[in-house]
Amino acid sequence: MVFCSSSGCVGRSESDVVVYSALDQEFAQPILDSYERSVEGKTKVIGKFDVESTKTVGLVNLIVAEKEKPTCDLFWNNEIMHTVRLQKMGLLEPRSWKVQSGYPANMMASDGTWCGFAARARVLIVNKQLIPNPDDYPQSVADLADPKWKGKCAMARPLFGTTATHFAVLRELVGRDATIEQLKAIRDNATILSGNKQVAMSVSAGSVAWGLTDTDDAIIEKDQGRPVEIIFPDQATDQPGTLRIPNTIAVIKNAEHPNAAAALADFLIRPETEDRLAMGESSQMPLSRGSKFPPRVLPSEPVRWMNADFESAADDWKAWAEQLQTIFQ
């Protein structure tokens, strides 16, 4: 067989496995290489990585386009919502995942088609020079709509990525109408930027006092010595908790090499892989109790995590996205 990617076409043997990865190549490739070494080269891993601006959507669209004759054997997504959309299209293969006891139930598909691991969290990043007193720090995502922060806080446009996922999950927790009203209030109160990275950078530069972003973007600013603090929001008992969004692994339905793909999937969701990602630049958070490396982004006190229903959040996705588009044009 011949496998074609953006870099050209290469021959593919029966022992090869093709991985479409939305995780950046600089982080994913060393782990894929370590798998090849662990099987002494008996399986060749061929990775396809798309460009930064469209990587997740581009790879998902390619999987959909190739559904009659898949090229991809295994999909490694750095988020979850598009993986769930593939699940609902019937393009993923159900399987039994080799995870340890106590694994978070909402981090595995109800039908076994995907498994989450190595999560990021949705956090607030605060400029300590602009808000010098920790008692004044915002503590909730809802604070983005508080008039006292008008023009002083920021959020990414919630049409793509983890911000879109965040509010789709909140929609299932508090209701569609309440979430729409909250988003309209945030639109009128906060600075809306193009992405989570831009939010983190704007806070660290002092353009705004605080914002909603992801842990991987926030920890970069902190590691660079910027005057920022990271807040895990909504920890009070009457609040929903902090949302964590995992990487996801899924074997493609009718993949040409399902056994090789399944073996690689089991390797990737191991605690050792999570520890490797936790030690990396993005400080991703292991889900397994078998993890031995606490990521530096986590606070010293335990975090109360949101009980997110990702499968319900993906329902009616197109209509939901269109509604948000009218709000955040």
Contact residues for 310 (Cβ-Cβ < 8 A; gap 6+) = 80, 81, 84, 106, 165, 169
Taking the model in full, what pTM does it have? Answer: 0.91
The number of angstroms, rounded, from the C-alpha of 266 to the middle of its chain's C-alpha atoms is 19
Place of tokens 């109160």: 189
pLDDT at 56: 77
**Distance between CA 20 and CA 244 in Å, rounded?**
23
Bridge partners of 150? none
The answer to whether residue 325 scores a pLDDT higher than 60 is yes
Distance CA 268, CA 270 (A): 6
Confidence of residue 111 (pLDDT cuts 50, 70, 90): very high
Averaged pLDDT for residues 155-167: 93
**pLDDT (0 to 100) of residue 5:** 46
CB atoms under 10 Å from CB of 58, counted, come to 16
Q: Compute the mean pLDDT over every residue in the chain, rounded to the nearest whole number.
A: 93
Q: How many CA atoms lie within 13 A of 17 on its CB side?
A: 27
Structural domains of the chain ordered from first start: 2-119+246-293 (3.40.190.10), 120-243+318-327 (3.40.190.10)
Please write the tens of the pLDDT for every residue from 198-218.
999 999 999 999 999 999 999
By C-alpha distance, which of 100, 102, 107 is closest to 79? 107
Q: Which residue type does 173 have? A: L
DSSP string, 118-177: EEEEEEEEEETTTS--GGGS--SGGGGG-GGGTTTEEEE-TTSHHHHHHHHHHHHHH-HH
Of 190, 185, 106, 192, the closest CA to residue 156 belongs to 192
Tens of pLDDT along 17-28?
A: 999 999 989 999
Say which residue, 14 or 255, is predicted with more confidence: 255
Q: Residue 190: which of 162, 150, 158 has the closest Cα?
A: 150
The dihedral through the CA atoms of 311, 162, 142, 238 has a sign that is positive
What is the model's pLDDT at position 10? Answer: 44
Task: Give every CB contact of residue 164 below 8 A, 6+ residues apart in sequence.
Answer: 81, 158, 321, 324
Residue whose entry in the numeric block shows the structure tokens 């989450």: 116
What's the confidence (pLDDT) of residue 93? 98
User: pLDDT per residue over 115-153, tens digit each?
Assistant: 999 999 999 999 999 999 999 999 999 999 999 999 999
Helix/strand/coil for 276:
helix
